[in-house]
Structure formats: structure tokens, C-alpha cells
């Protein structure tokens, strides 16, 4: 997201280690998961150095990244080419908020989904073999598959969608404020005006009213192989819906398709010795985005160099 948003690399891939900013990101999300429900408490947290340090340190870091971006006009457009006005000296609070959102929602969500996708492929080796067989038929003459090569691979999209259903990267979903006059739900429940409401995506996407055998990892529910396995597709909201849906969903799907296709094509993926997936299941935490527990996997090359 550094290149896409700010026309610079954060150096996380090159180092091969968890960067300080990633730890900062995860630590800062923990207080936000509470403050999102009692936003007035932010003033109290701001007076508590221990509790607020990661949050405000991350805010300061994001602001510095944006300030550096404003000083340099890149040759190629990035996200902030559309948001920054070169004729204005001052960076607005809204711009700083957008810089934090871009880093949080654009980086951590895809990595969380990939972690859970690998977890499900290790648990469901038959699904992994089926996916590999489908990918092996795509441009077998190419050493590396491009996004365009796998854009129409139904089996791949089924695996990705089923991962997003069972393990949404934003489990609680963002909040919305009801209109001043309030609103009435189809079951006649009335919600007063100017009230914060959430749609619990995690619960909705595991609700047996909308999904047959909802806790099973079943990629076929997204293809024609299991008609009826999906009772109500409108209950699938990993990127939300409507005019305020996720602006980066197409980019996220491109990343997920490319990484998954090339990993599965090149490696046999299994749990590492001593790993059974219990940590990622039990230690992951909903902190607006999902902070994922540790998962160790083994990648066995399918081909000799």
C-alpha cells in the first residue's frame, strides 16, 4: 500500500521481518476496537500515556508519511494524487484520517485473508488438490501467472469467497448512523435517529438462515456444483454493499487471486510440524480489522529448479 497510496515503499517485503509499523498497527487497533463503541472515551484515553501510546504513535507515523508525500509530486499517480491539492499548504484532518484508513484497510485485510486461506487449504487438502488441478490448466507454459490469467477461474474465486465468508477481515463491520427520523426494519423494529448501528458481518455470514451447513468450508457453494448451498447471497458482505462499499475491493481480489494462484501452483501447502491451526482459530482478535494469530505452514516445491 505504500506504493499505491504514497508512491513509496515501506520496506516491509525487502526486510523479510515484521516491521515496527506493523506491530504499531496491531497494537493501535486494540484500543480502537473499544473506542469505536464509546467514541467520547477517546478524550480520556488521550490522557492515559500507556493505553494511548501505540494509537497516537501510529497516528503520528501516518501523518509524517502523508507530509512527505505532499512534498513530492510523483511521476505516476497514486491514491493521494486524487486527494491532495498542490495549491493548498495545509493537510486537513480528513486527509490524515484517510492516510490511516488506507494503511489499515489496505494492508492488514489482505494479509489476514491470505492467512486464513492457507489455514483452510491445509485443513482441506482435497479442496487444495482440486484448486491446484484447476490452476494447472491455466497457461501451463507460463512460469508466473498474471492477474488476467486467473480472473475467470471459478474454482479460485470459490476458495477466496468461502474464506471471506467464514473469516471476514472486518468481522464486526463499520458503524453507520441512523437518519434523524430513525428507521423501521422489515420486522417492525424501530431504531431511533442518530444512533450508531453495526451489521455483524461475521455472524451474518455464518447464519444458518442464509447458508446451508454454514460452518463448513464449501467453495462449491460459489459455483454451480452445489445449488442451494447459498440460500441468500445478499448475506455475503466482506466488502459491504451499496454506494459506501469498499473502494479497494477490486484491488484486494486481484492480490488474493494472484498470490493464491501462484502459491498453489508452485507449492504443496501443509501445516508445519506441530501446527494444527488452533492458534489462528483461538488467538485471532477482532480489532476493527482482524488481528490474526500465528500460523506455521510448510511449502514444498512441486518442481525442481
Rounded CA-CA distance 125/252 in Å is 25
The rounded distance, in Å, linking the Cα atoms of 19 and 25 is: 10
246 is in an annotated binding site: yes
DSSP 48-107: -HHHHHHHHHHHHHHHHHHHHHHH---SS--GGGTT--TT--PPPHHHHHHHHHHHIIII
The C-alpha cell 492516510 sits at 99
Beta strands 289-291 and 196-198, pairing class: unpaired
Do the bridges between strand 196-198 and strand 190-191 make them parallel or antiparallel, or are there none, so unpaired?
Answer: unpaired
Pick the closest to residue 153 from 65, 223, 67, 246 (CA basis): 223
Show binding-site residues. Answer: 246
* Feature table: binding site for heme: 246
Amino acid at each position: 500500500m505504500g506504493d499505491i497510496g504514497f508512491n513509496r515503499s515501506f520496506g516491509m517485503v525487502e526486510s523479510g521481518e515484521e516491521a515496527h509499523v506493523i506491530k504499531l498497527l496491531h497494537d493501535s487497533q486494540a484500543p480502537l476496537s473499544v473506542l469505536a463503541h464509546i467514541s467520547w472515551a477517546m478524550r480520556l484515553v488521550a490522557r492515559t500515556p500507556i493505553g494511548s501510546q501505540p494509537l497516537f504513535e501510529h497516528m503520528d507515523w501516518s501523518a509524517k508519511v502523508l507530509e512527505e508525500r505532499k512534498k513530492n509530486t510523483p511521476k505516476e499517480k497514486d491514491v493521494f494524487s486524487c486527494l491532495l491539492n498542490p495549491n493548498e499548504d495545509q493537510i486537513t484532518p480528513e486527509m490524515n484520517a484517510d492516510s490511516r484508513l488506507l494503511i489499515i484497510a489496505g494492508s492488514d485485510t489482505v494479509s489476514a485473508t491470505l492467512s486464513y486461506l492457507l489455514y483452510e487449504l491445509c485443513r482441506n487438502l482435497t479442496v487444495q488438490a482440486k484448486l491446484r488441478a484447476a490452476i494447472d490448466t491455466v497457461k501451463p507454459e507460463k512460469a508466473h501467472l498474471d492477474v488476467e490469467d486467473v480472473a475467470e477461474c471459478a474454482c479460485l474465486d470459490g476458495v477466496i469467497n468461502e474464506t471471506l465468508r467464514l473469516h471476514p477481515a472486518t468481522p464486526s463491520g463499520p458503524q453507520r448512523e441512523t437518519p434523524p427520523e430513525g428507521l423501521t426494519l422489515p420486522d417492525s423494529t424501530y431504531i431511533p435517529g442518530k444512533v450508531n448501528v453495526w451489521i455483524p458481518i461475521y455472524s451474518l455470514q455464518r447464519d444458518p438462515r442464509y447458508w446451508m451447513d454454514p460452518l463448513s468450508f464449501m467453495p462449491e457453494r460459489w459455483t454451480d456444483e452445489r445449488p442451494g448451498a447459498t440460500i441468500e447471497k445478499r448475506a455475503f458482505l466482506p466488502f459491504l454493499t451499496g454506494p459506501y462499499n469498499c473502494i479497494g475491493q477490486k484491488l484486494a481480489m486481484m492480490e488474493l487471486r494472484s498470490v493464491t494462484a501462484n502459491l498453489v501452483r508452485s507449492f504443496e501447502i501443509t501445516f508445519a510440524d506441530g501446527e494444527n491451526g488452533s492458534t489462528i482459530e483461538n488467538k485471532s482478535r477482532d480489532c476493527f480489522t482482524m488481528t490474526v494469530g500465528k500460523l506455521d505452514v510448510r511449502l514444498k516445491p512441486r518442481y525442481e529448479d
